[in-house]
Amino acid sequence: MIVMSESARIGKKKFRVVHFGTYSMKEGYPRNSVIEKAIEATGAEVIRCHRDSWGNASSRTRDITSVAAGITRILRLITAWFSLSWEYLTNTPDHALVLVGYPGHLDIFIAKILGRIRSKPVVLDAFLSVYEAVVEDRKLADKHSLKAKLLKLLDRASSGVADVVLMDTQAHIKYYHDVIGVDIKRFVRVFVSAEEKYFNTTNQSFTIDPGKVLFFGSFLPLHGADVIVKAAGILKDHSNIKFTMIGDGPEWQRCRNMAQASGAKISWKREWIDYRELANLISHAGVCLGIFSEGGKAARVIPCKAFNVIATGRPLITADTTASREAFKHGENAFLIPPGNPKKLAEAILTLCNDKALRDRISKGGIATFRDRFSKKALGNNLVGALKHRVAMKIKSRP
């Protein structure tokens, strides 16, 4: 009789993942939803063990920066952890691993204890560094402060207890290694991608306005919206070029004031719009814009908006950074320009708006790139393959 080893059985039975934690599944923060659908696209199964205790991004920032809000959040998390622990231990079927959803920098410690009880490896979707987001990007704490040191410790400890850590780019993985001090071998890259249900080419509009330039985002320093406003000022006398900027955030008012001072002609929409409307706006635009801030986090991320644009089949202009070069090649699937340079952005917009052949080439290249590398099927095959390998290696290393 042939006896199959436990590690060999991984490839024979259905791969089942428990998606554990207090993460958000709200529209507009698609990381967790995209990863679930990518895993399921491979034929694997995802079981949610979930309590949403985080809400939107603004509430997360408030909880980090406000003592009172932070205490309230911790009490809610503790309540959720008791509930999740009971559900996981008493009502969750057998599975290959536990995946802690983003944000899970605190959930991972509970998940690790539970994983040990059931002898399951635990994966953390870190997605970003809390220290980087709060201290370096939003500058909500001085880098020498106690708060900054505690946030860096949280990044290091949460990644250290996980068997595998997911990050969105190799540039971000390098940051975690160089700045946070986490072994680079612990990481697996999983791009952000897009919600294909909404962002696709099946409803591609045939009334595209080649002079319509679209930006949408949360007006964080990362996005470099001020660079876009300055470019709009440079192009204010080009009547065929029309800028639309959608969203809200800490940089919105400053950008609006800059536009008024320069005479830049911009249509503003200071509100959240749902995915269906956003996809429709993208499909009508001649050119869509990514991020343009210099250095720091902007050099290490590829924002969700970039994937939304190429999945919808529109040409993308974004900053030429270490991270963007992991996904894009200038003139083939995106138009890359130096970060922080409104003159180069204005030139790129003029070039694309007036060159249909170039727009079409970049659009088709973006569609092909999304299909081959960032679709849920492509993403899932890479992720599940990497996770199966790590699970098998962990089983083999057991005494």
- Asked whether the predicted pLDDT for residue 5 surpasses 70, the reply is no
pLDDT band for 71, please (50, 70, 90 cuts): confident
What letters, b where the CB count within 10 A reaches 16 and e where it falls short, cover 111-131? bbebbeeeebbbbbbbbbbbb
Q: What is the pLDDT of residue 26?
A: 78
Task: Indicate the residue type of 376.
Answer: K
Which pLDDT score, from 0 to 100, does residue 224 have?
94
Encode pLDDT of 177-194 as tens digits.
999 999 999 999 999 999
If you ran DSSP here, which 8-state letter would residue 180 be given? I
305-334 CB burial, b ≥16 within 10 A, e <16: bbbbbbbbbbbbbbbbbebbbbbbeeeebb
Mean pLDDT score of the chain, rounded to an integer? 89
Instruction: Say how far apart CA 222 and CA 228 lie, in whole Å.
Output: 13
3-state SS class at 384? helix
Rounded CA-CA distance 353/185 in Å is: 44
CB 52 within 8 A of CB 130: no
* Residue-level pLDDT at 263: 93
Q: What is the pLDDT of residue 302?
A: 95
pLDDT digits (tens, 9 = 90+) for 297-317: 899 999 999 999 999 999 999
Has residue 260 got a pLDDT over 50? yes
Is the pLDDT reported for residue 174 higher than 50?
yes
Judge whether 53 and 73 are in contact, CB under 8 Å. Answer: yes
Is residue 56's pLDDT more than 80? no
Which own/partner pairs from 108-116 qualify as long-range (CB within 8 Å, at least 24 positions apart)? 108/158, 108/161, 108/162, 109/157, 109/158, 109/161, 110/81, 110/84, 110/85, 111/20, 111/21, 112/161, 112/162, 114/20, 114/85, 114/88, 114/89
Provide CB contacts within 8 A for 169, sequence distance 6+.
189, 191, 300, 301, 302, 323, 326
The band of 73, judged by pLDDT with boundaries at 50, 70 and 90, is confident
Q: How far apart are CA 258 and CA 114, in angstroms?
A: 52
Does the pLDDT value for residue 291 go beyond 60?
Answer: yes
What average pLDDT does the segment 36-53 reach? 94
pLDDT for 211 equals 93
**At 234, is the pLDDT very low, low, confident or very high (cuts 50, 70, 90)?**
very high
Report pLDDT for 32.
94
The pLDDT of residue 7: 44
Q: Name the range with the highest mean pLDDT among 34-48, 53-67, 385-399.
A: 34-48
The pLDDT assigned to 3 comes to 34
| Percentage of residues in the chain having pLDDT higher than 90 | 76
pLDDT > 70 in the chain, percent: 89
Note the pLDDT of residue 14: 85
Residue 210 has pLDDT above 80, yes or no: yes
Q: What is the pLDDT of residue 140?
A: 85
Taking only the tens place, the pLDDT of each residue in 111-152 is: 999 999 999 999 999 998 999 988 888 888 888 899 999 999
Tokens at 311, concatenated: 């999945």
Give residue 28's pLDDT. Answer: 65
> What is the rounded average pLDDT of the residues 374-381?
96
pLDDT in tens, 320-373: 999 999 999 999 999 999 999 999 999 999 999 999 999 999 999 999 999 999
Residue 66, pLDDT > 50, answer yes
Q: What is the CA radius of gyration of the chain?
A: 22
Q: What mean pLDDT do residues 62-75 have?
A: 65
pLDDT for 65 beyond 70? no
According to the model, what pLDDT value does residue 4 have?
36
